[in-house]
Structure 1
Amino acid sequence: MTDKIRIGISSCLLGHNVRFDGGHKLDRLIRDVLGAYLDFVSVCPEVEVGLPTPRETLRLVGEPDRPRLVFGKSGEDITERMQDWAHRRCDELEKENLCGFIFKSKSPSSGMERVKLYDKNGVPSKQGVGVFARVFMERFPLIPVEEDGRLHDDKLRENFIESLFTVKRWRDLVERGMSAGDLVDFHSRHKLLLLAHSPQIYREMGKLVAETGRQEMQTLQKEYVELLMKALRMKATVSKHINVLEHLLGYFKRELSADEKQEMLESFASYRAGHVPLIVPITLINHYVRKYDQPYLKTQYYLNPHPLELQLRNHV
């Protein structure tokens, strides 16, 4: 993959002075580290809907399923105005072919979850979803989304970036014109990655792939990508990674010496106990894949799901 992955992002996270106080919320991890691989389409709902900077603060009030967006002091309600703009903006974003979106946490317009929602007595609870974020996620349910704060959690960051690269590979295939053989190949190359998220969903996907040649390709693609995103939303755990690692070990039954096998098992045990990160057994396996020339494992994205330079598996 040579071109960057195109994603949407809240403008303030890139350092744009669009906040209610005239400032920004620059996130250097996102802009400077992840930005080496991501092409950002910035969005600021409050500025783009026509509000000035600086401005009076907004808040969500009412019920979780139908909140109102109002100014904190004046009480002016701009819910419909924001919703109308959000739908129009999503029409524009649909043409951008985004592979993901990073929202600003806690924002009444862009917060993905746990935004303060005030009841009729002015008491807040963290049950709200930003007005624009809600419209976006309903419009694009298959696009991976995250918030800036959650991306500083090692496991959530690794899962999100892995999802972005997987979606990009899928989109590239679809744009080129996916054949039945392409679908089978995609599923095969992502087998171990999917098993690390959900063995059950992987089996469901396998049944779909078995229908190639018997079902209309467009229908298969739609059903497959829905299951793909459902699987990627399931968090990979240590125990599921261990199952995949042990599965990988089975490919070296004839090649590994007793000492090499023991070394592999010790690295698995150290990872299970939390003494070393996932990158340690993965690096050892990649060494044996090259040493013993395992052609099938060379195709597995599980072993190289994203650029090594991001060091995402150094912390999970």
Structure 2
Amino acid sequence: MQEAYQKINANDDQHRTLVAQQSLNTLIAAAPNMNDLIQFHRNHKFFLQSKDERLYRELGYIVGNHENKSLHEIIAQYQSCFHIIIKKKTTLKQSVNAVQHMAGFLKNDLTKAEKTQLHQHIEEVAQQRDAMSAILRTLKRYARKYNNTYLLNQTLLNLCYQEVKQHKR
């Protein structure tokens, strides 16, 4: 069971990484402004957090542009750090942490029964009894139900294999 779980999640991680890289390439090709980069970073928050919390925060510092660098410099620095972070293998612990943070954005909306069910589902993922993709589907269902646009815009919830096929053409 554990081997099958790891294989499914490794495939999901590879897929998410490919789509994230394609998303960054699309952003850069569109000659983004600073607001576009900020929105990109915001929408990739939980994906990046599931890869490496420290580097995710470093990317946030880059986007914050506290040193008043040019947009060209910021994008180059962001792209370089982004490539480093997406090459990292997502661990179960990091993924569960990201999912728990996502669940926090629903805490005021969920019923007591939904919260209990969601936390049990997260625990099943943490114990490797269920795949990460299953909890992401559950989170997306709740985000839709409660119209949580912040979560609905998260790439981690919106990745699908069809996107990869379209970009490969």
Secondary structure (helix, strand or coil) at the match of 1:177 reads: coil
Please give the alpha-carbon distance, in whole angstroms, between the structure 2 residues aligned to 1:214 and 1:156. 39
Distance 1:261 1:156 in 2: 27
The alpha carbon displacement at 1:212 in A equals 7.5
Match runs of 1:210-221 below 5 Å: 210-211=64-65, 214-221=68-75
Q: Which amino acid aligns with 2:145?
A: K
2:13 to 159, 166, 175: 159
Counterpart contact for 1:190–1:300, Cα < 8 Å: yes
Q: CA, structure 1 residues 180+309, in 2 after alignment: closer, same or farther (shift >3 Å)?
A: closer
Cα distance in 1 between the residues matched to 2:115 and 2:15: 31
Select the structure that is richer in strand.
1
Offset, 1:277? 0.9
The C-alpha deviation readout for 1:205-246, integer Å capped at 9, x for no partner, is 011000179211111111101110111111111111111111
Task: Note the C-alpha offset of 1:273.
Answer: 1.1
Residues 236-255 of structure 1 mapped to structure 2, 5 A cutoff:
236-255=90-109
Once superposed, what is the RMSD of the aligned Cα atoms? Answer: 1.9
Q: Report the CA distance between 1:306 and its aligned residue.
A: 3.1
Aligned to 1:123: none
Unaligned runs of 5+ in 1: 1-152, 311-316
Task: Note closer, same or farther for the CA distance 1:173–1:302 as it changes in structure 2 (3 Å cut).
Answer: same
Relative contact order, higher structure (CA 8 A, sep 6+): 2
Identify the residue that residue 181 of structure 1 maps to in structure 2: 35
Q: Which residue of 1 aligns with 2:117?
A: 263
Residue deviations 1:40-76 (CA, integer Å, cap 9, x gap):
xxxxxxxxxxxxxxxxxxxxxxxxxxxxxxxxxxxxx
Residue among 288, 299, 306 paired with 2:142: 288
Partners of 2:128 and 2:162 in 1: CA distance: 21
In the aligned structure 2, how far is the partner of 1:167 from the partner of 1:242? 22
Name which of 71, 74, 89 aligns with 1:235: 89
**CA offset digits 1:118-167 (Å, max 9, x no partner):** xxxxxxxxxxxxxxxxxxxxxxxxxxxxxxxxxxx544433332222112
- The structure whose Rg is larger is 1
For normalisation by structure 2, the TM-score amounts to 0.86
Q: Give the structure-1-normalised TM-score.
A: 0.47
- 1:194 to 1:159, Cα distance in 2 relative to 1, 3 A: same
Distance 1:263 1:191, change over 3 A: same
Identity of aligned residues (%): 22
How many equivalent residue pairs?
158
Gaps of 5+ in 2: 1-6, 165-169
